[in-house]
Structure 1
Amino acid sequence: MEMRSVPPVASALAPVPTTLETAAIVGRANPPRRQIPGTELRVFPTAMSGKHFGSSVSDAAVGEILDAYTALGGNMIDTADAYGEGRSEQLIGDWMRRRGNRDGLVVATKVGKSAAHPGLSATAITAAVDASLRRLGTDRIDLLYLHVDDTEVPFEETLLAVDGLIRRGKVLTFGMSDHTGNRLLAARVACGLLGVAPMTALQNQYSLMHRVGYEKGPAGVALQQGLAIMPRFPLADGFLTGEYRTRADLASAPSPAYIAPHLGRRGRRVLAALERVASELDASLAGVAIAWLLSRPGVIAPVVEVRSADQLFDVMAAPDLRPTRHQLAALDRASA
C-alpha cells in the first residue's frame, strides 16, 4: 500500500486523517492487547491470516499488508504449512527478516495438512515443525495448531510429540483447529494423564453467519477449559462486508461458492442488523461483525483475511468499537 505523507501545513480544505490513517503513517500508540490464557502471549484483538499469501495475494502485496497491519498495532500473524504449499510461511519469514521485527510478533502456524508431512504422527509433527521453522526463519513457533483431527494416531503420540517440541523451545504453546467438543475433552484428559503441556487455544469457524457449529459444539468445553478462541472466517468469506448481496455480485467475489448459501432471508436479516448498528456507531459492517465476535465469551483474536492493505482499516477499527448491549442483542437476534 502506498502510504500517504502528511504535509507540513494542513490545508483548510484537506480531510483530517482518521486515527487509523494516522496510525498507518506514524504507528499506533498503546494498541490494545488480549492475553492468551495460560501463557505470557499478549496479542492484538485481530490476527492477520496468511491463508492466501503466495497464492491469490502477490508477494509485493504480502509485504504491504504486513507493514500496514503492524503499523496499525497488529502483532499476531496466523499461517499454516499447507498454505500455498509452504509459500505463505516463506513470505512471512522473508518479511520478518527484512523488518527485523520477529521478537515483537506472535507467530502462529498449523501442521497436519501439508503434502510433505501429512497427519499428526510424532514423525510428521516433528518434521513439519522443523520445516516451518526453516521457512519462517525463526527459532520458535509461538502458537502451534494441530490443523487436522487425525483419528488414526493416538492422542498420546501426538501430545507427547508436541510436548517434546515445547520442552526443546521450538514451540511455546499449542492449540487445535476444527476439533469437536468431545475431542477437546479427550485431549485435555490425555494431557492430564500424560503430564504434558496443556493446549491453550482453539481455532474454529465462527461468525454471525456460522454460530451453531461452534456454539452448540465445542464452545462449552472450550470455555470450561479456558481456551483462547481464535475464530476463523469471521466475516463469512466476505459476506459480512455487505459487498455481496445478489447472485450477480458473486462474479466479483473471491469465494463465491462459500458466499452463495448466505444470500437468503437470514443473510439479508443479518446484513440489515449490521447496517443499523454500523450507522449508529459510524463504523463499517465488517468492523461491527468483528466487534460482535470480540464481545463473545473467550474470544481473543478473530483471524481475518485481506487481499490488499487498504482492506485493513475496517477490520483494525473493530477493537475500538463499543457496541451497546442493545446493539449486541439485536445482532444476536438477527443471526439466531
Structure 2
Amino acid sequence: MTRIGRSDLDVFPLSLGGNVFGWTADRDTSFAVLDAFHAAGGDFVDTADSYSAWKPGNSGGESETLIGEWLASRKPRNVVVATKVSRHPEFRGLSAKNVRAAAEASLKRLGVDTIDLYYAHYDDPDTPLEEAVAAFADLENDGLVRYTALSNFSADRIRSWISLAQAGGGALPVALQPHYNLVHRNDVEETIIPLAEEFDLSLVPYYSLASGFLTGKYRSTDAAGQSSPRAEGAAKYATPQGLAIVDALERIGDAHGASIASTALAWLRAQPTVAAPIASASRPEQVPDLIAGGTLELTVDEIAELDRVSAWTPGA
C-alpha cells in the first residue's frame, strides 16, 4: 500500500484508469475489469466527469455512471475513487458555480456521499485562480470532497494554487496528475517532481504506458491495420530510442517473469514522489499485468539501465 501525499488515503500502488469505461469497454466488460482488479487487491480507480464524451452518442459521465453502478452492485470495501472537473460538456472550466455543480453531478453518478480525490482536470485561464482555489476549499469544508488534487497544471500554476490556499487557510492539494512515462520524462522531472518533493505531493501519472506503446504491442511507426483507437498515438513512439526502451523492458521483464507493461509500470513507481501510476484495461485478461506492475520491484541496476536507455538532456 502507498499513501497519497499528506492524506490518509492508503491505496494499492496502481490506479485503474476509467477512461475506457463506456468507450472501448461496455457495461459488462467494465464490470468484469473492475471485478478482476478488485479481486486481485486493487482499490484505487481514476475517472473524470468528461469520460467518455468524445465517443459518438455519448454526452460525458458514462465512466462515472458505470463505476457508480458497479459500486452499488458489488458494495466493495475501501475503494478509493478519484474524479475530475473542467472538461464535461455541461461543466466546462473552474468557476465556483461550475465546480460546485459538476461535483454534485459526479456524486450523483458515482452514488457516493463524498468524492475521495477531486482533481481540477485542466487549468482554466478564464477563471481567476483565487476563485477556483476557494471553490475547491468550499467543497472540502462542506464534505463533498475529501481531498483536492491538480491535473495538467504547470509548475508555476501549481505553486500559485498552493500559495493561495495557504493564504486563505484552505486545504492544500495532496496529489498531481501529470503525463509521465519512460518516453515522456522531461517536463515532469525538471519541474513537477521538485515541486512535489517540496510540498509533499504524490504523483499519480497518466499515460503510464504511453497509449499502449510500453506494452510492446506497437513496434512500427505505421499504425495501419491496427484496430485500437490508441494505435496512432502509440505508434508515434516507435523511434529508435523508443524501440530500444521496449527492448530493455522486455529483457528486464524476462528476468522477473514479468511483461513489458508490468516492467514499465514498475520503473514509474520507483521514481521520486510517484504513488500510483494510472493504467487502463479494456479486457479483464489485461488486469494481471497491471496488478503485477503494482508489485514488481526492480533492482537498482535495472532502474539505472532503464534510466540510461530513456535518457534525455534537461532543458533540451
Q: Quick check: 1:282 aligned with 2:257?
A: yes
The amino acid across from 1:257 in the alignment is E
Match of 2:294 among 319, 328, 335: 319
The structural deviation recorded for 1:100 is: 1.5
Q: Quick check: 1:79 aligned with 2:54?
A: no
| Residue deviations 1:219-273 (CA, integer Å, cap 9, x gap) | 2112211111001011000001101102456532431221122111111110111
Check conservation: 1:182, 1:218, Cα contact below 8 A: no
Q: Distance in 2 between matches of 1:268 and 1:88?
A: 33
Give the CA RMSD over aligned residues: 1.1
Q: Which moved more, 1:219-228 or 1:284-293?
A: 219-228
Check conservation: 2:115, 2:145, Cα contact below 8 A: yes
Could you tell me which residue of structure 1 aligns to residue 239 of structure 2? 264
Q: Quick check: 1:229 aligned with 2:203?
A: yes
The structural deviation recorded for 1:54 is: 0.7
The amino acid across from 1:183 in the alignment is R
SS in structure 1 of the partner of residue 281 of structure 2: coil
Q: 1:49 to 1:99 in 2, by over 3 A?
A: same
1:35-184 map, 5 Å: 35-84=3-52, 85-101=60-76, 103-184=77-158
| Residue deviations 1:143-177 (CA, integer Å, cap 9, x gap) | 00001101221121111111111111110001000
The amino acid across from 1:276 in the alignment is R
Q: Quick check: 1:239 aligned with 2:239?
A: no
| Residue deviations 1:104-151 (CA, integer Å, cap 9, x gap) | 110100000111111000000000000000000110100000011012
Percent identity, aligned pairs only, is: 37
Q: Distance in 1 between matches of 2:266 and 2:223?
A: 25
Q: Distance in 2 between matches of 1:73 and 1:173?
A: 23
Q: Which runs of 4+ in 1 moved over 6 A?
A: none
Number of residue pairs matched by the alignment: 303
Q: TM-score, normalised by structure 1?
A: 0.88
Q: TM-score, normalised by structure 2?
A: 0.93
Q: Distance in 1 between matches of 2:168 and 2:45?
A: 30
SS in structure 2 of the partner of residue 96 of structure 1: helix
The amino acid across from 1:234 in the alignment is S
| Residue deviations 1:269-321 (CA, integer Å, cap 9, x gap) | 10111111112112111010000011101110001111101001111112322
SS in structure 1 of the partner of residue 241 of structure 2: helix
Check conservation: 2:221, 2:239, Cα contact below 8 A: no
Q: 1:190 to 1:100 in 2, by over 3 A?
A: same
Check conservation: 2:155, 2:195, Cα contact below 8 A: yes
Rg comparison, structure with higher value = 1
Q: Distance in 1 between matches of 2:307 and 2:122?
A: 30
Flag structure 2 segments of 5+ consecutive residues without an equivalent. Answer: 53-59, 312-316
Check conservation: 2:269, 2:294, Cα contact below 8 A: yes
Check conservation: 1:181, 1:220, Cα contact below 8 A: no
Q: Distance in 2 between matches of 1:250 and 1:141?
A: 41
